[in-house]
Amino acid sequence: MFSDIRISIRLAVGIALTLVVVVLLMLPAVLGQLDAATERAEVRQLEDLHHTLQASVRDASAHALVTITAIVNAKGVGEALANRDRAQLQALTLPVFEVLKTNHNISQFQFHLPLATSFLRLHQLEKHGDDLQSFRATVVRANETKQPQIGLESGVAGLGLRGVIPVSHQSRHIGSAEIGISFGQDFFDAFKSQYKAPAALHIRADPDFRIFATTIPGKTTLSPAQVAAVMTGRTVTSQVTIDGRHWAVMARSVPDFSGQPVAVAEILIDRSDYVASHKKTLNRILAIGSVALVVGLFLAWLLSRSITKPIERLTHTAEEISRGKFEEKMFGAERKDEIGDLARAIGRMSASIKIAMDRIKKAAR
């Protein structure tokens, strides 16, 4: 089959195919390494943002704890709670709560009697005396352990950021005090504004989950099954495209004050730059491969010319010899390569034919 194809074409096709195979083998290897490096960078960035989100929650809780401790330690507050003097306690703390609500995003302020009976809600003055034991574990634990409790907790009003401290008067435990910080859309709006990372928080809503707050275009990228999986301790990552923009997604569980999963945080980062870099690398490899192919074909042409041109001249010489022109100068006889071997062989054949022809002529006389 190949004997019917000219050597020059065989060389060109062979070199071209070799270059194409090299590019095709190199392309997935290079792009695979780029994808792996990109994914590692995205995961690190998303992990950092999740740590930052939870650190923001802890910092807000710690701030709440400092604030409520300062208020409870103010003159007369502990005494009013010990005496069950609701009117006096309200007079001492309500003005402070109004300032905190306006300037520091404090949405709740409450005093409790042991073990978890609401004594005074500064944010809802008309409601008191109800037992919170069944759903306010922070209050129960603060009264049981006489230790402060901070973090996220679900309550009647939903998920909240709480700081609860035990209160004592004259070395006697008399109850607890609590501050609740607004934790919702405003928190995630501020997070997105500061870190340029859309995020959403998913909480339980029997029998499934609901979005508590979100700054993600389209609200979420997760399915209910993925949210449920994250609540069991898994980390879910994905890559999505929203309105033509490319995003990397990571979802992780968020612990409450006791360390138990209470919600799922979903955070996105814009990976458009990574996608553009990927395309640029792909185009660069293809461009280099195309240039290499053109250069390779040119070199194949030069190589084939260096082989076929001498063969063509030797073919012409052999044809001349066949016509009896033995004086034809032998091209390439001085060369040291296969062309030279062929030229010298043709030269010897020419000399032998000439001798034989001379003998035939002499014999014919």
Superfamily in which the 185-270 domain is placed by CATH? PAS domain (3.30.450.20)
Between strands 208-214 and 236-242, the pairing is: unpaired
Q: What is the pLDDT of residue 328?
A: 63
pLDDT at 9: 75
Cis peptide before 293 (omega within 30 of 0): no
Q: Kindly indicate the confidence band of residue 126, based on its pLDDT and cuts at 50, 70 and 90.
A: very high
In this chain, the answer to whether the domains covering 73-181 and 185-270 adopt an identical fold is yes
Q: Is the pLDDT of residue 318 over 90?
A: no
For the full predicted model, state whether its pTM sits above 0.75. Answer: no
pLDDT at 313: 79
Sequence-distant (6+) residues with CB within 8 A of 180 are: 64, 106, 107, 108, 109, 110, 123, 160, 161, 162
Least confident of 15-24, 209-218, 256-265: 15-24
Summarised one tens digit per residue, pLDDT across range 245-287 is 899 999 999 998 888 888 999 999 998 888 788 788 778 877 8
CATH architecture, domain 73-181: 2-Layer Sandwich (3.30)
Write the CA distances from 290 to 14, 25, 28, integer angstroms.
16, 15, 16
User: What are the domain boundaries of the chain?
Assistant: 73-181, 185-270
Return the closest-CA partner of residue 122 out of 70, 86, 173. 86
d(CA 312, CA 295): 25
State the Cα–Cα distance between residues 158 and 204, nearest whole angstrom: 10
Element (H, E) at 35: helix 7-72
Burial label for 365, CB within 10 Å (0-12, 13-18, 19+), is exposed
Cα(112)–Cα(53) distance, integer angstroms: 30
Listed residue (337, 248, 316) closest to 48, CA to CA: 248
Cα 311 to Cα 332: distance, rounded to the nearest angstrom:
10
Query: Among the ranges 30-39, 116-125, 353-362, which has the highest mean pLDDT value?
Result: 116-125
Q: How far apart are CA 249 and CA 241, in angstroms?
A: 10
Instruction: Identify whether 207 is preceded by a cis peptide bond (ω within 30 of 0).
Output: yes
Q: How confident is the model at residue 195 (pLDDT cuts 50, 70, 90)?
A: very high
